Structure 1
Amino acid sequence: MARKTGFVAAVLAAALIGVSPASPALAANPYERGPAPTTSSIEASRGSFAIAQTTVARSSVSGFGGGTIYYPTSTAEGTFGAVAVSPGFTASQSSVSWLGPRLASQGFVVITIDTLSTLDQPASRGTQLLAALDYLTRTSSVRTRIDAARLGVMGHSMGGGGSLSASVSRPSLQAAVPLTPWHGTKSWSSDRVPTLIIGAENDTVAPVSSHSEPFYTSLPSTSDKAYLELNNASHSAPTSTNVTVAKYSISWLKRFIDDDTRYDQFLCPNPSGSAIQEWRSTCPYS
């Protein structure tokens, strides 16, 4: 919100000194990264950015169990937003590792984490996601590539529940994408972070009727939110390459971490298709 306010102030200041607010230098969104998106570009296995990765040893960090950082190799377009991704109950980062290069190549710094214990509950996973973001922005080898005001969280199952917990703990986050999330808490009325919840129609571990759907419904109606239910999919759908999960996660993160309205076309009006059982949202988004 602060950066949006600053952008509006710049336009007003330009008007006072006689500069047209339509001037490209002012009208262009300074957080856009990469070329104009297409359906093909967000469904592709890789985006336009060449990437590299580095391992974060558990012994070198505190607050989470280490992980892997994926990041664009070029800084010609400036800094990037960052996303931390947590696995679910009993799982390691390998279960969400496919998201690392997929998201990073679209213009994000991404850390997929291991948790302190594979048995950690959602609230702990939320705390660990925030610890991973703090590590990324404060001490990691890629910290200078990151805009610390542009951060998001994702996670699968209890990691998805953890992303909801993290959002409540840190409302300054720009986006959250819980993937077939599980959490014992059902009401998230205090969550103000723009959130895309992805559930799965045939999920028997975190059934949408008792997890994803009530989570979505409880989020404030005044907030930017969406609910995608994957057609004929199971709880584990987000743990391997999934074009539908990727394209809408990318679109959500771009739209809210980068304020990139070029991605509105993929989110609003509500998408449909054979891979989508249901989509709800508060579109148009603010």
Structure 2
Amino acid sequence: MLPKKTAAATALAAVMWGGLLSPPAQAAQNPYERGPAPTEASIEAPRGPFATSQTTVSSLSVTGFGGGTIYYPTSTAEGTFGAVAIAPGYTADQSSMSWYGPRLASQGFVVFTIDTLTRFDQPDSRGRQLEAALDYLTQRSSVRSRIDATRLGVMGHSMGGGGSLEASVSRPQLQAAIPLTPWNLDKTWSDVRVPTLIIGAQNDSVAPVSSHSEPFYSTIPASSEKAYLELAGASHFAPNISNTTIAKYSISWLKRFIDNDTRYEQFLCPAPREREISEYRDTCPHA
């Protein structure tokens, strides 16, 4: 048995040595986490924990895209935020995507719903415009100081969704992409390395999943993070109307990959089983 002084010294040394080996709990936390721990109810709610505001961007003040609306959390008490640019579909304008703005921003993102240069721009052009919008957002916009320019994503509907795939190939440093009932003449996306959630619609007659969403998903390499969610009984235009299922899994995907927030992994893996989802595929578990 050790003398009391020796035992005390040994115990103290063990505590100090253990402290050197074990970093403080706070240091191990993800610095990009924003907001409280999520629940099923919190990601299905119409609004998240952050108060938001918005500002209009005139087409006359930008180049490379047609202006739009920026939605953003009003407080930066928790730090800067990741950002997402969202493109509309063929012949549509940003109003068709406006519901995503406050819904995603209130969960802790800066969101830019954009207008395209013309209503008839093809997916490759829409992809370039999404990139131009992100550049404006992070370099020139009035909210640029609120954004972490290393944590960016793209979304889009129909040809805008096809554009989000184009942007993913052109800009592989993006953190996330969510094509919504996407349309593109190019069916092969073996160059995509960006974590991509494709949301298709079971009854889509404009961009049938058999010739668009499914081959898009299948040709993204298995080594890339990817998921395919098919909305049961939904049409091509489901993403244009506030939709809890789209919001829930979009929030989870953006949080998981833009914010690296593994608290949201539970909603993506294992594959969700809900009546609103006719099919779900994923590369679970995510690295």
Q: TM-score range by the shorter chain?
A: over 0.9
Aligned partner of 2:279: which letter?
E
- State TM-score, norm by structure 1: 0.93
Structure 1 CA distance for aligned equivalents of residues 91 and 71 of structure 2: 23
Structure 1 CA distance for aligned equivalents of residues 188 and 151 of structure 2: 26
Task: State the match for 2:22 in structure 1.
Answer: 20
Task: State the match for 1:114 in structure 2.
Answer: 115
Aligned partner of 2:105: which letter?
A
Gaps of 5+ in 2: 1-16
User: Can you list the C-alpha shifts for 1:71-95, whole angstroms capped at 9, x where unaligned?
Assistant: 0000000000000000000000000
Residue 24 (structure 1) shift? 1.9
Gaps of 5+ in 1: 1-14
User: Can you list the C-alpha shifts for 1:173-202, whole angstroms capped at 9, x where unaligned?
Assistant: 000000000001000001000000000000
User: Can you list the C-alpha shifts for 1:126-157, whole angstroms capped at 9, x where unaligned?
Assistant: 00000000000000000000000000000000
Task: State the match for 1:174 in structure 2.
Answer: 175
Task: State the match for 1:191 in structure 2.
Answer: 192
Task: State the match for 1:147 in structure 2.
Answer: 148
Aligned partner of 1:166: which letter?
A
How do 1:188-227 and structure 2 match up within 5 A?
188-227=189-228
Give the structure with higher Rg (CA): 2
Structure 2 CA distance for aligned equivalents of residues 123 and 17 of structure 1: 54
Structure 1 CA distance for aligned equivalents of residues 25 and 150 of structure 2: 23
Secondary structure of the 1:82 match is strand
Whether 1:245 and 2:246 are equivalent positions in the alignment is yes
Structure 1 CA distance for aligned equivalents of residues 25 and 100 of structure 2: 33
Aligned partner of 1:247: which letter?
K
Aligned partner of 1:208: which letter?
V
Aligned partner of 1:170: which letter?
R
What is the Cα-based RMSD across aligned positions, in Å?
Answer: 1.2
- State TM-score, norm by structure 2: 0.93
Secondary structure of the 1:204 match is coil
Task: State the match for 2:36 in structure 1.
Answer: 35
Structure 2 CA distance for aligned equivalents of residues 19 and 99 of structure 1: 44
Task: State the match for 1:261 in structure 2.
Answer: 262
The number of aligned residues is 271
Residue 19 (structure 1) shift? 4.6
Structure 1 CA distance for aligned equivalents of residues 28 and 251 of structure 2: 23
- What percent of counterpart residues are identical? 73
Residue 16 (structure 1) shift? 12
Structure 2 CA distance for aligned equivalents of residues 102 and 127 of structure 1: 25
Secondary structure of the 2:188 match is coil
Secondary structure of the 1:18 match is helix
